[in-house]
Structure 1
Amino acid sequence: MKRYLRKIFKAGICWSSMLFLVVTCEAQISSADSTSLIIDSKILGEKSKVFIELPKDYYLTSEKYPIVYVLDGAYNFKFSSEAVKLLYQNERIPPCIVIGITSTNRERDFTPAGDSNWQPPREMQAAGGAEKFLKYLEEELIPAIDKKYRTQPFRTIIGHSLGGLLAMYAFSTKPYLFQAHISLEGSLWWNDGGVGKSVINYLDTHPAYKGKLFIGRIKIPREAWFPINATLIDYLEKKRPAGMEYTYMEISEETHSTMVFPGTYFGLRDVFKDYFFELNEQADEKSIMAYYSSLSAKYGFTVIIPQQIYNFLWDIAMHEKKYDDAIHYGEMRIKYYPNSYRAYMDLGSTYIQTDNKEKAITCLTRASTLNPADESVKQMLNGLLKQ
């Protein structure tokens, strides 16, 4: 019975992979916020299209950003970009550059070569090019992105189905390439579980590993799992390195194909779960700055403090009439969030309290330009201009 369930499940995945390929080839990306470039790959021997979504304030600052690489980019790029936007706008993750990676043949590019005594499904005979595809990512695509854009040395890869298999293959063979791996419904049955076994072997021999791994699956009876899934999950739960961050999530009421949408959101939120600082009565500048300093050391890049935190510190300073501090926090807020009309409005109100009419007018004028519909800004500005 177990073997029958696995056979049916594998057939479903293979069929979903072929259907997904058709949908991917037909998908169109159109967004004023997105751009694309063509990589003329010597390694793949073909041209590859890449989609790029930059943070809203990218051209207004000199900041560098972590990167999210999305496999099956022609299909998954747009909703992945929206997930990043939503999470960032609600200050659950830092601003990120999103890269959508396309492939002309995902069955070839996302699957490692099998052992000599293992045969891939009949409909997947072109498989086995994952090593070359990872070489393309490492030696051509990632250097091109790092050269063209301001990037931080923190990369996340997201893959679904065969893409999830490739994400895990990257984990076990090039663990330095990505600092976080999100594998959604990864096809670990491939090559009798060879990739899953390699992940276990790598972690067994590298107890100091400190990366992040999120595994998402649909909710199905454990007896229908392929053996490698149970073996890997049990290992990660009980024996993973102490410094490794790992989350396993079962997503209910979704299919193999539809879970990629919520799985991407949950995976991204989990990778940056410690980005969100829980404000409370004990929070002060010292504890907040110490927290984000330690977080920057952990991530390996300077973490931009969320706007809500600067607003919190500004509120405290204003309440205590520490106007120099309030101006400092207001200026920092504008530096990192130059499109925030509230940041300019709040700093303008601080300058009003310090009788700096000229700077108050400058800030409120900018706030009104960013949000012409806010009548309170207009009233404050008109009151100053009439003085």
Structure 2
Amino acid sequence: MKKYAMLLMAFVCFITANAQTKIEKLKSKKLNETRDIQIHIPEGYSEEKVYPIIVVLDAHYLFESVVANTRYYSYWDEMPESIVVGVNQYEKEDREKDCAYDDANGLPADKGAKFFEFIGMELIPFIEKNYNTANFKMIVGHDLTANFANYYLFKEVPLFDAYINLSPYFAPKMEGRIVTRLEEFEKKKFYYLATGEEDTKKAAARIKDLHGSLSTLKNENIFYYYDDFPEANHNSLAVQAIPRAMSQIFSMYRPISVKEYKEKILALKTSPFIYLTDKYQTIKDLFGFEKRVSVNDFMAIYSAVRKSKNVEDLKLLAKLGKKEYPDTALFHFFMGEYYEKTEKPKKALRMYQNGFSMNSIDFITKDLMLDKADKLKQDFGW
């Protein structure tokens, strides 16, 4: 974690000059007041793309940490570039009013009920009106605001897809409601829960009890993650939990790792190519846009196909390569090998020769295509 923190700090310093964060004064009819909203727009923002929304409560101290991790992970293509929206809650008294609930039923009350509507009916529509947004939405909160974020789970159509709970101070009956609700979902939801070794005793006890219930959850649509950080107190756990939460929630977006390759792909009883298309279909379903298949993932699946000896997958990879990287030799290399495996050497030779004129990609270079063609000529005496 220390190594990660140092890398993150260096990265943040490197990109600070290009920061696109601004403060909006958002006039709220629901609250009858004007609120300070921080908005971070990705440096490469384009009208031709869409971006997930990450709402950060307690933004006056959590916003920078969320933005830094968003930039870092998206730079390495481990999560999509995102719009981060922070709601500042400077004063303790105002924060408590924002998150107010009825002591009897544990549901939002007074200003808390209005603040609930402000997020869903004013803040999110404001962002969606002014920026190109994807379907995926996440919310981040700490103690009181973490509890508050959970109320959006109970809408008939939940506002958020992912919930980062940093040492929540639960309202009455909240834990039972969370478990019941998460058991019901028929669409994918992500739920992260964190405490620390030196967290406040009352909060930690309830968090661990909830973890005990959620760890036995059998709903395949729920992706649940939990951390209990050693030596972390109620406040310090937040900066450790945010990168952990984001790394786990966006794990399906990341390029295929060595661990994923060894533990999942090599253990497949079905086609590795199907695994690849399913992965990218999940990304499309979750975020509402098509992600270009990374070269890393092409090569991982190619390696698995060779081990599985599933020759037809080479042909499918070739067609996908032509779609994703049309100016490169990816299509010609995969089709050349496909024709070799299916004992059609003349067609393989033609593919390698045609691939020589295309751009190199990864290990597939012009020299490699030339070598492949020469070897075929030697083998068959052409």
Q: Which TM-score applies when normalising by structure 2?
A: 0.65
Deviation at 1:246, TM superposition (A): 0.7
- What's the secondary structure of 2:62's corresponding residue? helix
Moved more, 172-181 or 155-164: 172-181
Partner of 1:301: 288
- Alignment CA distance shift 1:249-1:308 (3 Å): farther
Is 1:80 matched with 2:66? yes
Moved more, 213-222 or 155-164: 213-222
Which amino acid letter does the alignment assign opposite residue 98 of structure 1?
V
- CA deviations on 1:222-271 (whole Å, 9 max, x unpaired) are 98666643442222112353321111111222211111111111111111
Rounded to whole Å, the distance in 2 between the matches of 1:323 and 1:248 is 40
Rounded to whole Å, the distance in 1 between the matches of 2:102 and 2:236 is 27
Is 1:194 matched with 2:173? yes
Deviation at 1:32, TM superposition (A): 3.7
Deviation at 1:137, TM superposition (A): 0.7
Which amino acid letter does the alignment assign opposite residue 47 of structure 1?
T
Q: Pick from 95, 98, 103: which aligns with 1:106? A: 95
Rounded to whole Å, the distance in 2 between the matches of 1:153 and 1:332 is 31
1:94 and 1:303 in contact (8 A); partners too: no
Deviation at 1:288, TM superposition (A): 3.2
Partner of 1:44: 31
Q: Pick from 106, 112, 134: which aligns with 1:152? A: 134
Rounded to whole Å, the distance in 1 between the matches of 2:70 and 2:36 is 21
2:196 and 2:232 in contact (8 A); partners too: yes
Moved more, 246-255 or 219-228: 219-228
Partner of 1:271: 249
Which amino acid letter does the alignment assign opposite residue 108 of structure 1?
K
2:19 and 2:43 in contact (8 A); partners too: no
Partner of 2:357: 354
Structure 2's unaligned 5+ residue stretches are 1-15, 304-313, 329-354, 361-382
Rounded to whole Å, the distance in 1 between the matches of 2:248 and 2:31 is 33
Rounded to whole Å, the distance in 2 between the matches of 1:331 and 1:67 is 32
Deviation at 1:323, TM superposition (A): 12
Rounded to whole Å, the distance in 1 between the matches of 2:69 and 2:245 is 10
Partner of 2:189: 211
Rounded to whole Å, the distance in 1 between the matches of 2:326 and 2:89 is 44
Which amino acid letter does the alignment assign opposite residue 228 of structure 2?
E
Partner of 2:276: 288
1:207 and 1:242 in contact (8 A); partners too: no
Partner of 2:117: 135
- What's the secondary structure of 1:100's corresponding residue? strand
Q: Which TM-score applies when normalising by structure 1?
A: 0.64
- Alignment CA distance shift 1:331-1:51 (3 Å): farther
Rounded to whole Å, the distance in 2 between the matches of 1:215 and 1:179 is 15
The sequence identity of aligned pairs, in percent, is 20
- CA deviations on 1:136-187 (whole Å, 9 max, x unpaired) are 0111000010010000111000001111111223223566100110000001
Rounded to whole Å, the distance in 1 between the matches of 2:118 and 2:199 is 37
Looking at both structures, which has the greater relative contact order when contacts are Cα pairs under 8 Å and sequence separation is at least 6? 1
1:218 and 1:256 in contact (8 A); partners too: yes
Structure 1's unaligned 5+ residue stretches are 1-28, 119-126, 334-351, 361-387
- What's the secondary structure of 1:44's corresponding residue? coil
Partner of 1:57: 44
Rounded to whole Å, the distance in 2 between the matches of 1:109 and 1:77 is 18
- What's the secondary structure of 2:52's corresponding residue? strand
Count of paired positions: 293
Rounded to whole Å, the distance in 1 between the matches of 2:199 and 2:142 is 20
Which amino acid letter does the alignment assign opposite residue 198 of structure 1?
R
Which amino acid letter does the alignment assign opposite residue 48 of structure 1?
R
Rounded to whole Å, the distance in 2 between the matches of 1:114 and 1:207 is 27
Q: Aligned ranges for residues 106-125 of structure 1 at < 5 Å? A: 106-115=95-104
- Alignment CA distance shift 1:287-1:170 (3 Å): closer
